[in-house]
Chain A
Amino acid sequence: AQSVTQLGSHVSVSEGALVLLRCNYSSSVPPYLFWYVQYPNQGLQLLLKYTSAATLVKGINGFEAEFKKSETSFHLTKPSAHMSDAAEYFCAVSVNFGNEKLTFGTGTRLTIIP
């Protein structure tokens, strides 16, 4: 079965600093990987997805992630943090076996320090 592990349940960065949220996956078949963001009192929203095309994936709000098969990683980055980036971020994995069930990581709460 596939799974993802998010390292760090809480991450704090200063406004303008680099954001790095870590995600490692485990899958016996080529995975599809996703980052979702959850703002307070809202549902989850797709930030970006990797579906076996380009390994560097760009998403909304200036976020990007790189798929590294050798490291089984899909870390999320943003060059310069903004106060509005404060939210909870979830990494998720899916495999192509006939449904789109996503398995989510435990989430990383990102705090931006003014």
Chain B
Amino acid sequence: DSGVTQTPKHLITATGQRVTLRCSPRSGDLSVYWYQQSLDQGLQFLIQYYNGEERAKGNILERFSAQQFPDLHSELNLSSLELGDSALYFCASSVGAGATTGELFFGEGSRLTVL
């Protein structure tokens, strides 16, 4: 158990819909990262938050947005869903944003299926 909690574990929805994925980081971790894992794209970094502020942005579509709340949990919002958005979405957390250990602790993922 990594200590990172993601909900829901599975989600099935239709094209054009909007969903919200939730992540609770490990106790004490200030950084939250979102990754998308799909068969054709592999593991793609989407976005990082550190203590409530956006820290780094990767290949995140404009239809996607995220935020980190004062209690440090994070939400990833996916809107106007397309078939190609079907993937496993991972949340990871780490202690800081300026340290260099690079160890990320991953949740078990939220599997999104868009029909």
Q: In the complex, which residues of chain A have a beta carbon less than 8 angstroms from the beta carbon of B24?
A: none
Give how many A residues have a beta carbon under 8 Å from the other chain's beta carbons. 25
Cβ-defined contact, B109 with A43, below 8 A: yes
Which residues in B have their C-beta under 8 angstroms from that of A107?
A: 42-43
Interface residue from B31, B100, B106 paired with A96 (Cβ < 8 Å): B100
Q: Confirm or deny: A18 has a beta carbon within 8 angstroms of a beta carbon on chain B.
A: no
Name the residue on B nearest A41 (C-beta).
Answer: B108
**Residues on B with beta carbons closer than 8 Å to the beta carbon of A41:** 108
Q: Is A94 a contact partner of B102 (Cβ separation < 8 A)?
A: yes
- Selected contact of B43 from candidates A46, A98, A99, A104, CB within 8 Å: A104
Distance, CA A101 to CA B108, complexed state (A): 19
Any chain B CB within 8 A of the CB of A90?
yes
Bound-state Cα–Cα, A36 to B109, Å: 15
